[in-house]
């Protein structure tokens, strides 16, 4: 095995490789087409007796050349021979540097957001081989960023990160539960859900900051925090009378909400898809024959799916009818105001609840108020559709398929989680198609039946 030479470090690199040094065991240089030559030392930890790798530094002609890094490697080998844990020493140095630099929670938040939003190459196994795509490191990075900026930064942003204690986190949690947290000059509404989102975001932040190689903090302060109160499960679903009132109301000429949002609400009920899954449907996701296909289908890519897997959702005749009116000649099924992009994922929710200015003035009246229906959210339409399916005799296993939920049991008993995750990859399209068509038939029956006297009087008023 020859020594590492200057020529090795300056040569053009076409593929990644390592060159080990003959005169200094464990020393090697990593060569890559996309990074400068970097020196490392492999060694055995004298305390734990485990193998480790220590990064020495980057090659620079003249000052930090091969001879320089070979000498640095020998210095480290002497320290290791004397019983020093150089990895622990490096961590202590980084923590001291971070403390002396006074890195704040706000600065770590900025670094964390930049890291989770960075696009990296991901490899996915598809039917036709491996597909390489670029995507953000964390799929939910926008939600994580929003929670950090909304809950954590206002209270802890200026604090030195290493000085934050579990009592600071606990007090922040208590203030969120009591509605005492201030954002944009006004207190936020008390919410168990907000406190839960804050805990998840701040725990991820400090765990990331404490990882080896960063060491912005020695340990995470998010330990032994008070338990959160149990959240009340959401049970809102529309009754048959409310479905009839909603469906007919969405077609009223006096409704001030954009027609495409009204159609999206109808589509959400008949397709059982989530808001982000249906509002961004592109013509390319409808297959070669599109909505004119004998068996229409929408293929939702994994990037928009909560469970990070492709959804093959059949479209009933009612769903196709709604889709044709909504899409027209646009590339998106539900195009936005300028038709160059899809509707915002919050479009339906905003339309249902309306919009108020900061001074309390009503900018737009919500659909629920216009139609005289008890407030509900777009997600409640999924619960409504699932309940309708159950009421007409469709099995819960099939309902779970249509909702893209993990099936934990079927008619034969419990189903192992690994079965659905790694083995049973059949999308059960025909099974879902039959169930969704029965749902569409039931909705048609509901909206075609006459209203009761009380509803007729309310409509007349």
- In whole angstroms, give the CA distance from residue 315 to residue 434: 10
- In whole angstroms, give the CA distance from residue 370 to residue 173: 37
- From residue 143, give the alpha-carbon distance in Å to each of 194, 299, 342, 380: 12, 24, 20, 21
Report the C-alpha dihedral over residues 255, 256, 259, 260, rounded to 10 degrees.
-130
Q: Is 184 exposed, middle or buried (0-12, 13-18, 19+ CB in 10 A)?
A: exposed
336 token code pair: 């936005």
- Taking the whole predicted model, whether its pTM rises above 0.95 is answered as no
Pick from 81-85, 114-118, 357-361, 387-391: least confident: 357-361
Confidence class for position 454, pLDDT limits 50, 70, 90: very low
Confidence class for position 172, pLDDT limits 50, 70, 90: very high
CB 69 within 8 A of CB 39: yes
pLDDT at 40 over 70: yes
Q: ∠ at Cα 260 (259, 266), nearest 5°?
A: 95
At residue 227, the pLDDT reads 92
- How many helices (H) and strands (E) the chain has is answered by 19, 14
Give the mean model confidence (pLDDT) for residues 235-241.
Answer: 93
Structural domains for the chain: 6-84 (3.30.160.390), 105-209 (no CATH), 240-460 (1.10.443.10)
Give the mean model confidence (pLDDT) for residues 430-441.
Answer: 95
CB 246 within 8 A of CB 266: no
Three-state SS at 31 = strand
pLDDT at 27 over 50: yes
Give the mean model confidence (pLDDT) for residues 85-104.
Answer: 77
- 438-443: Cβ within 8 A, 24+ apart: 438/389, 438/392, 438/394, 439/270, 439/272, 439/316, 439/385, 439/388, 439/389, 439/392, 439/394, 440/270, 440/316, 440/317, 440/318, 440/319, 442/388, 442/392, 443/243, 443/247, 443/269, 443/270, 443/318, 443/388
- Which one of 119-123, 134-138, 199-203 scores highest in mean pLDDT? 199-203
- In whole angstroms, give the CA distance from residue 71 to residue 73: 5
pLDDT at 273 over 70: yes
Confidence class for position 133, pLDDT limits 50, 70, 90: confident
The better pLDDT of the pair 91, 360 is held by 91
Please tell me the total number of residues recorded for the chain in this structure: 461
Pick from 20-34, 387-401, 447-461: least confident: 447-461
pLDDT at 329 over 60: yes
The gap from C-alpha 138 to its chain's centroid, in whole angstroms, comes to 7
Q: ∠ at Cα 16 (11, 18), nearest 5°?
A: 80
- Tell me phi and psi for residue 270, to 5 degrees: -85, -25
At residue 461, the pLDDT reads 45
CB 262 within 8 A of CB 318: no
Confidence class for position 451, pLDDT limits 50, 70, 90: low
207 token code pair: 């765990």
Q: Say which residues have a Cβ less than 8 Å from residue 146's Cβ, sequence separation at least 6.
A: none
- Taking only the tens place, the pLDDT of each residue in 341-379 is 899 888 999 999 988 765 567 678 889 999 999 999 999
- In whole angstroms, give the CA distance from residue 147 to residue 142: 9
At residue 422, the pLDDT reads 42
Q: Which residues of 303-340 are buried (b: 16+ CB within 10 A; e: fewer)?
A: ebbeeeebbebbbbebbbbbbeebbeebebbbbbeeee
**Percentage, residues of the chain above pLDDT 70:** 88
- In whole angstroms, give the CA distance from residue 181 to residue 349: 24
pLDDT at 124 over 70: no
Which helix or strand (DSSP H or E) is residue 93 part of?
helix 86-101
Give the mean model confidence (pLDDT) for residues 62-73.
Answer: 91
At residue 59, the pLDDT reads 92
List of E strands, 33-118 = 35-44, 51-58
At residue 34, the pLDDT reads 78
Closest Cα partner for 113 from 158, 145, 70, 83? 145
The better pLDDT of the pair 461, 388 is held by 388
């Amino acid at each position: 095995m020859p020594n590492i030479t200057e020529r090795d470090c300056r040569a053009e690199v076409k593929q990644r490789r390592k060159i080990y040094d003959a005169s200094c065991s464990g020393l090697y240089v990593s060569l890559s087409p996309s990074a400068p030559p970097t020196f490392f030392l492999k060694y055995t930890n004298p305390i734990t007796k485990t193998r480790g790798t220590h990064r020495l530094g980057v090659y620079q002609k003249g000052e930090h050349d091969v001879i320089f890094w070979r000498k640095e490697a020998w210095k480290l080998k002497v320290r290791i021979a004397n019983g020093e844990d150089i990895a622990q020493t490096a961590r202590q140095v980084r923590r001291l540097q971070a403390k002396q630099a006074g890195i704040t929670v706000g600065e770590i938040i900025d670094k964390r957001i930049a890291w989770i939003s960075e696009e990296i190459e991901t490899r996915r196994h598809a039917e036709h081989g491996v597909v390489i795509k670029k995507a953000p490191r964390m799929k939910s990075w926008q939600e994580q960023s929003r929670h950090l900026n909304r809950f954590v930064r206002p209270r802890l942003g200026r604090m030195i990160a290493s000085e934050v204690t579990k009592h600071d986190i606990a007090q922040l949690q208590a203030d969120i539960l009591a509605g005492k947290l201030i954002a944009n000059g006004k207190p936020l509404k008390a919410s168990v859900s907000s406190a839960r989102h804050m805990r998840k975001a701040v725990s991820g932040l400090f765990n990331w900051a404490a990882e080896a190689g960063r060491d912005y903090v020695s340990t995470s302060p998010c330990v032994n925090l008070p338990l959160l109160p149990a959240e009340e499960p959401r049970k809102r679903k529309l009754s048959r009378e409310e479905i009839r009132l909603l469906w007919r109301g969405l077609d009223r000429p006096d409704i001030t909400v954009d027609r495409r949002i009204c159609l999206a609400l109808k589509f959400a009920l008949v397709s059982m898809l989530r808001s982000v899954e249906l509002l961004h449907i592109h013509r390319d996701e409808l297959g070669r024959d599109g909505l004119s296909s004998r068996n229409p289908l929408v293929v939702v890519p994994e990037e928009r799916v909560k469970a990070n897997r492709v959804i093959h959702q059949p479209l009933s005749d009612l769903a196709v009818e709604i889709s044709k009116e909504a899409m027209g000649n646009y590339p998106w099924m539900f195009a936005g105001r300028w038709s160059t992009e899809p509707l915002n994922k919050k479009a339906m929710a905003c339309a249902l609840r309306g919009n108020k200015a900061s001074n309390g003035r009503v900018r737009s009246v919500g659909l629920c108020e216009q139609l005289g229906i008890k407030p509900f959210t777009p997600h409640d339409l999924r619960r409504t559709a699932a309940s309708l399916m159950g009421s007409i005799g469709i099995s819960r296993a099939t309902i779970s398929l249509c909702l893209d939920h993990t099936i934990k049991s079927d008619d034969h008993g419990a189903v192992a989680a690994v079965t659905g995750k790694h083995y049973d990859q059949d999308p059960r399209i025909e099974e879902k198609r039959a169930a969704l068509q029965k749902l569409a038939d039931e909705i048609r029956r509901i909206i075609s039946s006459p209203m009761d006297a009380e509803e007729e009087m309310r409509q007349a008023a």
